[in-house]
Amino acid sequence: MKRRNFIKTTSCVTVGALLPNSNIIYGTEKKYVGSTFHTTENSHIKIDGNTMFIETKTLNAILEKGIIISLRCKQTGQEYIRKSESNKNRALQLIYNNDTVNINDEVSGNITARKISRNKAEYIFHTWNGDGILFISADDETGDIIVEPSAYSSRPGLLACRWNIVNIKDTLDLIAPFYQGVKLKLNDPLLKNTRWKWPFSWEAGLAILQDDNGGFWVHTQDDKYRFKALQTSSEDPFTLGFDSEAFGPIENNLSAGGVAWRINTYSGNWHVPAERYREWYWKTYNLLSEEKKRPKWLNNIKFALSWCPGDARILDAIAKRIQPDNVLLHFPNWRTDPYDENYPTFIPSNEAKIFIKKAQQMGFHVMPHFNSIDMDPSHPVFEQVRDFSYRDIESKVLQGWSWYDGKGIGVPESNLNRLTNRDKKVMVKIHPGLGMWRSILVENMQKAIADLSLDSVFIDVTLCTWNIHNSIVDSTTTPEGMNKLIKYVAGINDGIAVGGEGLNEITAQAQSFAQVHLFKHGADGYERGSDCDLNHFLFSKICKPFGYSGLSGKNEQESLRMKVHLDHGAIPTITINSPDEIINPNPAVSEMFKMAIGK
């Protein structure tokens, strides 16, 4: 178990009533149903030299050489961009490994604006370091401004094209789906110079900027699994960078783009844009059908035990405090193999069979721990799938785990050593887009599920999808492949509840439970950003979060971690090592039980 500890180290409408379980938001002036405003108001774009004036039903904006210099909400009259005399602002940048290149006319070249139609225009960049386009349109129905950046140069190795929003007012809070949701000032040190990759750490494609009575927001309605990222506080903390990544491999790549970013204003609290995004998300991925697939007992779970020891006395102790059918048990050490070794072999030990049977007879819901994409390279299956291992998009190193001398290290690049160090828990990640891998995994899982009569399983590292060197396998990216994998597992025996690691807009679609991580966990003051349950708001109708690790309440740090999980809407969760911690609980563990039973 020590190895797990390493991971620790809208539019402008007035909010009259927000109905969380409804598809309707009622305002004082307009009615919003789903993602469509019922109106016939037209948007307009006008150009004067290199200045672009945009008016939609919800906002007025001014752009200069592609840079937003004014963004004003029509309903509230609020302006969200600060005036600046600086000439260092950049609308477009090219992102290389450890290098950011400006696409501007500082040295030579030009940036010109061109009108295409009533509500469409573009900026054309021909500059010293590269060329690009900002295609801009205005959506009549929603009032969104849609910005589609693309850029290129003759220099190979391009990772992404970045579109920047600069000079954001310093009164605004950033509300974003980083590790279950954060609410922080843009200049908070916790956000400093961080590139949040979708969907691994930027868990849904939206960012909300909120003041006392509304704000503005940026989102993408991308359903093609394109890789993207959000850059916070690189040089200027009041700049946000929205990256459109090229698919790996990138060593010969010259161009990037393809993601359309939507910007709009709103009045009210952050639930207004989040609700609109959720409605789009539900419709796009047909999640009403997923809701119907969830087990009836999903909403009965009130308490969770992560990393549950296989001690039957713990079951008896819990049953004296809460009804077992309200309890979810994440059970890691149940196989004949040691933890995190010899995947994808899943053979239950005799001791685990006895423990699971007793738990099921008492009414507990037990999730034995499997793994989604990590496998032991000394396993015979590796020969079939080794060519589809994760490699870093820039360094090309193998990605996975090894565990040595109490800490995590990389995967051996020696072909021999990769196969002969099982004692160091070497694991390599296999691309989930590979149909053969999904078949092998589910075949091995299905045997254990039948043997143990399981109604739920936990598959680890489902959050580990990002852009890699070999990003496309079977015409599928890693996030799309993980989505397919989770759905494949969930379909075993006509339906089984799946728990996974992490919670994002891809994994939530077929997972019933998510063991979630915390934002900047371990950093000083990380809890100050926790006053925002954004992911719970977006996903909890189909996927319930519960806590990860270090939740024993034995010290101030673990008690705080338990509280932050609750702030994010997680099921009350503990981690313990003995039944005595249930029989004689400390105050933090006792509080979790009280919350679970409604006292």
Prediction pTM value: 0.92
Q: How confident is the model at residue 577, as a pLDDT?
A: 97
| CA atoms of 13 and 25, how far apart (whole Å) | 9
Kindly state the tokens that stand for 2: 């020590």
Q: Sheet holding 228-232: strands in order across? A: 99-103, 92-96, 160-165, 240-245, 228-232, 194-197
Per the CB < 8 A criterion, the answer to whether 560 and 527 are in contact is: yes
Residue from 229, 101, 231, 92 nearest 156 by CA: 101
Cis peptide before 344 (omega within 30 of 0): yes
Per the CB < 8 A criterion, the answer to whether 458 and 499 are in contact is: yes
Q: What angle do CA 495, 496, 502 make, to 5 degrees?
A: 125
Cα separations (Å) of 348 from 2, 131, 248, 334, 357?
Answer: 21, 58, 38, 6, 12
Q: Which residues of 378-405 are buried (b: 16+ CB within 10 A; e: fewer)?
A: ebebbeebbebbbbebbeeebbbbbbee
Strand partners, 499: 458, 513
On the question of pLDDT at 36 being above 50, the answer is no
10-19 per-position pLDDT tens digit: 334 333 333 3
Banded pLDDT at 287 (limits 50, 70, 90): very high
Least confident of 17-31, 136-150, 296-310, 556-570: 17-31
Kindly state the tokens that stand for 148: 């589609």
200-245 per-position pLDDT tens digit: 999 999 999 999 999 999 999 999 999 999 999 888 999 999 999 9
Residue from 352, 225, 298 nearest 490 by CA: 298
On the question of pLDDT at 477 being above 90, the answer is yes
Task: Provide mean pLDDT across the span 382-404.
Answer: 96
Q: How confident is the model at residue 217, as a pLDDT?
A: 98
Residue from 131, 98, 201, 159 nearest 466 by CA: 201
Banded pLDDT at 28 (limits 50, 70, 90): very low
- Helix ranges (H only) for 129-244 are none
Task: Provide mean pLDDT across the span 1-12.
Answer: 38
Task: Provide mean pLDDT across the span 438-454.
Answer: 97
Strand partners, 392: 468
Task: Provide mean pLDDT across the span 350-365.
Answer: 98
CA atoms within 13 A on the CB side of 19: 11
Residue from 570, 551, 460, 565 nearest 518 by CA: 565
Amino acid residing at 338: P
Banded pLDDT at 129 (limits 50, 70, 90): very high
Per the CB < 8 A criterion, the answer to whether 47 and 55 are in contact is: no
Cα separations (Å) of 114 from 73, 262, 324, 463, 575?
Answer: 25, 20, 66, 42, 60
| CA atoms of 179 and 470, how far apart (whole Å) | 26
On the question of pLDDT at 41 being above 80, the answer is no
Percent of the chain as helix, strand, coil, to the nearest 5: 25, 30, 45
Cα separations (Å) of 566 from 85, 103, 548, 595?
Answer: 44, 44, 12, 10
On the question of pLDDT at 384 being above 80, the answer is yes
Banded pLDDT at 406 (limits 50, 70, 90): confident
316-351 per-position pLDDT tens digit: 999 999 999 999 999 999 999 999 999 999 999 999
Q: Sheet holding 303-305: strands in order across? A: 544-546, 513-515, 497-501, 456-460, 365-371, 327-331, 303-305, 573-574
DSSP 8-class letter at 465? -
Q: How confident is the model at residue 87, as a pLDDT?
A: 62
Cα separations (Å) of 89 from 164, 206, 525, 542?
Answer: 9, 23, 31, 42
545-590 per-position pLDDT tens digit: 999 999 999 999 999 999 999 999 999 999 999 999 999 999 999 9
493-514 per-position pLDDT tens digit: 989 999 999 999 999 999 999 9
Q: Is 550 left (phi over 0), alpha (psi -120 to 50) or beta?
A: left
| CA atoms of 177 and 199, how far apart (whole Å) | 10
147-184 per-position pLDDT tens digit: 999 999 999 999 999 999 999 999 999 999 999 999 99
What value does the mean pLDDT of the chain take? 92
CB contact set of 555 (below 8 Å; sequence gap of 6+):
none
- Helix ranges (H only) for 224-297 are 271-284, 287-293
- The gap from C-alpha 268 to its chain's centroid, in whole angstroms, comes to 25
| CA atoms of 149 and 406, how far apart (whole Å) | 45
Q: How confident is the model at residue 20, as a pLDDT?
A: 34
Terminal-residue alpha carbon distance, the chain: 32
DSSP 8-class letter at 444? H
